[in-house]
Amino acid sequence: MQAVSSHVYPAGILNILSSEEVNRLHDASRGELYDLLRCCALAVLNSGSKIDNAEQMLAAYESFAIDANPVTRGIRLDVRNAPPGAFVDGKMIKGIKELLSAVVRDLVYFHTEIAANPKHSMEDSHGITNVVFEILRNAGAFKQLKDPNLVVCWGGHSIPGHEYRYTKVVGYEMGLRGLDICTGCGPGAMKGPMKGAAIGHAKQRIVPGRYVGISEPGIIAAEAPNPIVNELVIMPDIEKRLEAFVRSGHGIIVFPGGVGTAEEILYLLGVLLHPDNQGIPFPLVFTGPKESADYFRRIDEFIRFAIGDEAAEKYKIIIDDPAAVARYMREGVDEVREYRVASNDAFYFNWKLTIDERFQHPFRPNHENMASLALDRSLPKHELAANLRRAFSGIVAGNVKADGLAAIRAHGPFQINGEVALMQALDELLEQFVAQGRMKLPGSKYEPCYRVVTS
């Protein structure tokens, strides 16, 4: 099929803009923001592709271009040489148009209204949290009059069929119980719960159900939004993406995945282990089909070895029982509601949760930073969790992000070192991920982007 060129009038908030906003959007789309906008827009238009590598995607559509131009209706997006799967009879699919509009909205809003605005400080914890709040609010992600019911689902974009089918059944059981779904917006374990919940919502006549996808520019090419996402938010970096999950979600379910999922687990455990967060209810479940029991056994063993049994008390493992997962989450979310009422915290944003700055400032995964990570069990538990999270984040970058791929080509694999026993446990866990094919999409060969020093 041939690439398509088209004029698109954006959806949502971009429909009504002042002349100044139109001009800023036009200028930003042609300036230093253009390459980032082009990459993210192409990922959305390429939804459903089997490519999980930013460089490969850009190479496949190297002539793709997008421009934001002022017109009588406000703004018009002109796309040239776009993936044909985004169109039906020459017209862009409505859902994809909404996702493309969200990309433009969030990238330009951050670039013009936050990053360039001195009133928005990103040097301290409070300022960073406010930035996360502002981006979510501008995206319309807050439903002020709605009771807590948003469940975040984490898991791999590269999972076998039986695990994917299990995520759909869990999503279905949650949909029947009136729970909405938020994921990283991609395929695999990010798509399955949404697909299942859509059926559960339909049976309960819940219209519209919410299927929220939260991504960031460095990862969206590898995890392009799946077609069920009806609310997309693009955060500026992985740290703000993770904070958006835990601030806006009322509970989290973890399905089998790879290093990205391990990064998310360690982020959340590090947050929940902070002394200030003791007593704040936050339901967390690890679940998968019976074939995945060993996967979670190994994850559990690594967590207990690395950061202790106290961390394991923060989650519950439920194997091969979707209804039990949904009931546990429904009860947990109800407890969250009671706590928010008693503590006068907002239903739509968890202001009470303390997030240490180690989890908030962007980590640049280059060879120097990866090699200098402090990885030793003598560190405070939440600090070690923060550094392990950074190690996994670096591996994700080396696997799929354009900057990480370029760094690995230029200088070889990242080196990760630390306490010998901990490095041995980490190496065994990563080897298990590779053996189970959890590092890349099925059918592609994995070349490790890291080397763990175990002696």
- What CATH number is associated with residue 86? 3.30.1850.10
CATH assignment at residue 276: 3.40.50.450
Whether residues 61 and 169 fall in one domain: no
Inside any domain, residue 405: yes
Say how far apart CA 421 and CA 419 lie, in whole Å: 6
335 in helix, strand or coil?
helix
Phi and psi for 435 in degrees, rounded to 5?
-60, -35
Whether residues 184 and 275 fall in one domain: yes
Instruction: Please report, in angstroms and rounded to a whole number, the separation of the first and last CA atoms in the chain.
Output: 53
Inside any domain, residue 137: no
Inside any domain, residue 40: yes
| pLDDT score at 66 | 87
Residue 96's nearest CA partner among 219, 10, 223, 207 is 10
Domain edge (last residue) among 343, 371, 393: 343
Whether residues 177 and 74 fall in one domain: no
Whether residues 400 and 298 fall in one domain: no
Residues in the chain: 455
Whether residues 413 and 287 fall in one domain: no
Per the omega criterion (within 30 degrees of 0), is the bond before 83 cis? no
Number of structural domains, the chain?
Answer: 3
Q: Which domain holds residue 212?
A: 143-343
Inside any domain, residue 156: yes
Whether residues 113 and 158 fall in one domain: no
Whether residues 218 and 173 fall in one domain: yes
Task: List average pLDDT for each run of 10 residues in the chain, which is 455 residues long.
Answer: 82 68 71 82 80 70 85 81 89 91 88 85 91 95 91 92 97 98 94 97 95 91 86 95 97 94 94 93 97 94 95 96 98 97 95 93 92 93 91 88 86 93 92 81 73 82
Element (H, E) at 232: strand 231-234
Whether residues 108 and 161 fall in one domain: no
| pLDDT score at 56 | 74
Whether residues 115 and 202 fall in one domain: no
Say how far apart CA 439 and CA 225 lie, in whole Å: 19
Whether residues 330 and 381 fall in one domain: no
| pLDDT score at 9 | 83
69 in helix, strand or coil?
strand
Q: Is 82 left (phi over 0), alpha (psi -120 to 50) or beta?
A: beta
What angle separates helix 34-45 from helix 94-109, to the nearest 10 degrees?
160
Inside any domain, residue 351: no
Inside any domain, residue 304: yes
Inside any domain, residue 130: no
Inside any domain, residue 129: no
Whether residues 332 and 383 fall in one domain: no
Contact call for residues 247 and 132 (beta carbons, < 8 A)? yes
Whether residues 115 and 203 fall in one domain: no
Query: For residue 416, what are its two tokens?
Result: 């990760």
Where helices occur in 232-380 by DSSP H, the ranges are 238-248, 259-272, 293-307, 309-312, 322-343, 367-371
Phi and psi for 202 in degrees, rounded to 5?
-60, -40
